Amino acid sequence: MIPAAVRIVEVGPRDGLQNESTILPVAVRVELIQKLAAAGLRTIEAGSFVSPKWVPQMAETGQVLASIEKRDGISYPVLVPNLKGFQAALAAGAQEIAVFAAASETFSRRNINCSIEESLERLKPVIETGLAHGIKVRGYVSCVLGCPYEGEVAISQVVRVAGQLSDFGCYEISLGDTIGIGTPRKAQRLIEAVAQRVPISNLAVHFHDTYGQALANVLASLELGIAVIDSSVAGLGGCPYAAGATGNLATEDLVYMLNGMGIETGVNLQKLAEAGWMISDTLGRNPQSKVSIAMRASRGPGE
């Protein structure tokens, strides 16, 4: 059953910008978030509390969070890797956090220098502490359809990691195709398996467009009842494991497709595209969204 409405989780200001080579000032990051809120997005990742030594693009996320003009009904989650990051997020007034674990053993060791089991052990107290402070916690699982080091990833691994994060208290689990190699039937088989462990209503999808499959995978997910989709304005964030390849699914392309299907998003496509043009111009690049490029060329109403 395809849902009548979809909640879009806008990841551009975090997952998008952290994979861009340009380091943007706080004021620009704040302006982007506020333009996205004005476009009608209700969940907007504001940044992450990782060490600026490793991700300099996300430095001063606390200042970004403090500078946003908060709107009622909008959530501004931030990514935290550990308790230290959580404490910094708490001090900055975060109301929602996100944590992440990989479904690939090699990816986990290369990315965060520990096994999957160790990563889950680290996350458990972060999630518990967040919940104790009344903070919502979202979980990400990466490499759900493939790993840059291992290739195929066993579905059972994804089910195990997603289930553990759900058991720890994550209200929602986002299944991430980190390298963008998934195809529609593979995506459906994965979702069907995970849904045996975590209810469909608690699942989201996060597809990268490295091989041009993201929208097709989204449609396949909608057919199973998935109603939460991650995307990035202007397609911000290349794929770090495929040189020159596009990364995140562009929010403009997603909204255009959902509009055409009669699925409610609450997002104004024209305002969304304008936010994408602003940040793309600032970065000195073209949007990675086909819809955005077409709209800018025609300057049509776009709604």
Catalytic residue annotation: 239
Question: Helix/strand/coil (H, E, C) string of the chain?
Answer: CCCCECEEEECHHHHHHHHCCCCCCHHHHHHHHHHHHHCCCCEECCEECCCCCCCHHHCCHHHHHHHCCCCCCCECCEECCCHHHHHHHHHCCCCEEEEEEECCHHHHHHHHCCCHHHHHHHHHHHHHHHHHCCCEEEEEEECCCCECCCECCCHHHHHHHHHHHHHHCCCEEEEEECCCCCCHHHHHHHHHHHCCCCCHHHEEEEEECCCCCHHHHHHHHHCCCCCEEEEEHHHCCCCCCCCCCCCECEHHHHHHHHHHCCCECCCCHHHHHHHHHHHHHHHCCCCCCHHHHHHHHHCCCCC
